[in-house]
Amino acid sequence: MPHTPGPTAAVISRLQSALPHAAVITDPTRLATYDCDGLLHYRVTPAVVVLATDAEQVQLAVRCCSDAGVPFVARGSGTGLSGGALPHADGVLIVMSGFRTIHEVSADDQRAVVDPGVINLQVSQAAAPVGYYYAPDPSSQQICTIGGNVAENSGGAHCLKYGFTANHVLSIDVITPDGEAVTLGQRAPDAPGYDVMGAFVGSEGTLGIATSVTVRLLRRPASVHTLLAGFRSTDEAGAAVSAVIGAGILPAAIEMMDALAIEAAEAAVACNYPAGAGAVLVVELDGPDAEVEHEASQVERLCRDNGAFEIRVAADDAERQAIWRGRKSAFAAVGRISPDYIVQDGVIPRTALSEVLHEMKQLADERGIRVANVFHAGDGNLHPLVLFDETIPGQGELAEELSGAILDLCLSHGGSITGEHGVGFDKAPHMPKMFSADDLDTMQLVRCAFDPGGISNPGKIYPTPRLCGEVPGKRKAAHPLQQTGQADIF
């Protein structure tokens, strides 16, 4: 038994007496398997893990923590890429992945009611027989949980048209950091009172733990049209994106990959994208047949007008999957062309795309480091992949420095430090570059209302806690990246 401070030891014994034996883990070897989320280079072993399977257990665990002033962190599948579910060394890690029943799928109400541990894709699978689906589709949708999606306000390739988790959640049952069970929102829209649910979505586990989520289901579109276009350069592809948006077309998704990302994807999955392309676009249109048909011909023309030298259209689902395979494999694929890499997540106004890519290349060239680019071009959400070799002295530090400089670049163009991966532990130090002290203080008023003791996922989002009592998280010194990437991204 590792040494644990008094209050934590008391919480552990309370948990052990109140919960089933198998639900409380204190064995150091087993605890170690929970020491990080999808961002592998930050590791903290929790004092104890609780495997919760219902709301009462979550409430009990939170109450134990609240009574003793001990921190807790909730975790779903652990696919997050910002260290949002990084455990607290003296705290309880509440693992929600076993809390996973789909309680209801209603086509008439266009709603599903699910436990927080339900896997994102399973919601759509459950709704498929009645012709519906759940729109937010983060790349990790085969393994990430709805509870984690709520915490991170997850998006996905199709959020350009359909929005994020926040636009698709109607109601959330929450255990607040003081152990109270409360329902935020309602099955119908516009519950009276403050939209507290809206603030809870994307709060990265700092306002409590979701124990039930009511989501909106959408009718499956009649038609889906997926097109792959090869361009000589990212400038041309970017111009095509602007032309499509400028024509008043709102595709379900517009994704771009640059030459280096294509090279990696070819090496990994042989996606057979147009040879010699300096950039490819994947454009997906969905909706009623007649609309999609009309817009598809427009998109095709606009791509050609802007330099597309090859355009392929998926004739069926299998071909659609083939087109998407290259894109979806891109993160992990860069492992084929680089021993180490950092996945960055930043946002810029779409119109700044070309300029930002050139400036980014300059930053990379100055440091002698390569950057592959994969991004949601429709909404300006960049995922630069900073490639480096840890065995070369100093390159890890240089890559991290470049990764930070890319965020600064996004901010200098009026963008954001994160479009979908969250702030978590990783980007908390960058928050003051995007927000003033007063801005951050104002956000933390909400934190103080929920969690004056600062026990719910402390040390995340905010570099400096507000005075309502949060204890600052212990920050480990940034250490070189050793393992990266192979977590949830494919």
Contact positions with another protein (CB under 8 A) in 398-417: 414-417
Phi, psi angles (nearest 5°) of residue 214: -100, 120
- Rounded Cα distance between 349 and 382, Å, is 10
Give the burial string for 31-57 (b: 16+ CB within 10 Å, else e): beebbbbbbbbbbbbbbbbbbbbebeb
Among 38, 202, 307, 326, binds another protein (CB under 8 A): 202
Q: How far is CA 259 from CA 47, 263, 334, 457, in A?
A: 45, 6, 12, 39
Nearer CB in complex with another protein: 4/167 = 167
Among 219, 358, 474, 475, binds another protein (CB under 8 A): 219
- Rounded Cα distance between 44 and 75, Å, is 13
Binding mask 138-177 vs another protein (x if CB under 8 A, - otherwise)? --------------xx-x---x---xx-xx--------x-
- Rounded Cα distance between 128 and 233, Å, is 39
Among 33, 98, 104, 194, binds another protein (CB under 8 A): 194
Among 10, 121, 250, 267, binds another protein (CB under 8 A): 250
Choose one: 29-37, 96-104, 191-199, 360-368; the region binding another protein (CB under 8 A): 191-199
Choose one: 6-14, 91-99, 139-147, 195-203; the region binding another protein (CB under 8 A): 195-203
Binding mask 335-354 vs another protein (x if CB under 8 A, - otherwise)? ------------xxxxx---
Our finding on whether 86 is near another protein (CB under 8 A) is no
**Token digits of residue 412:** 């200098």
**Token digits of residue 175:** 């255990």
Restricting to residues 261-280, which ones interact with another protein according to CB under 8 A? Answer: none
Nearer CB in complex with another protein: 152/258 = 152
Nearer CB in complex with another protein: 273/462 = 462
Q: Which residues contact 248 (CB under 8 A, 6 or more apart)?
A: none
Binding mask 428-457 vs another protein (x if CB under 8 A, - otherwise)? ---x--xxx-xxxxxx-xxxxxx-------
Q: Find out whether 184 and 174 touch, Cβ atoms under 8 Å.
A: yes
Nearer CB in complex with another protein: 243/267 = 243
CA–CA–CA angle 355, 397, 407 (5° rounding): 30
Q: Find out whether 461 and 204 touch, Cβ atoms under 8 Å.
A: yes
Minimum Å gap between C-beta 195 and another protein is: 5
Strands 92-95 and 72-75: parallel
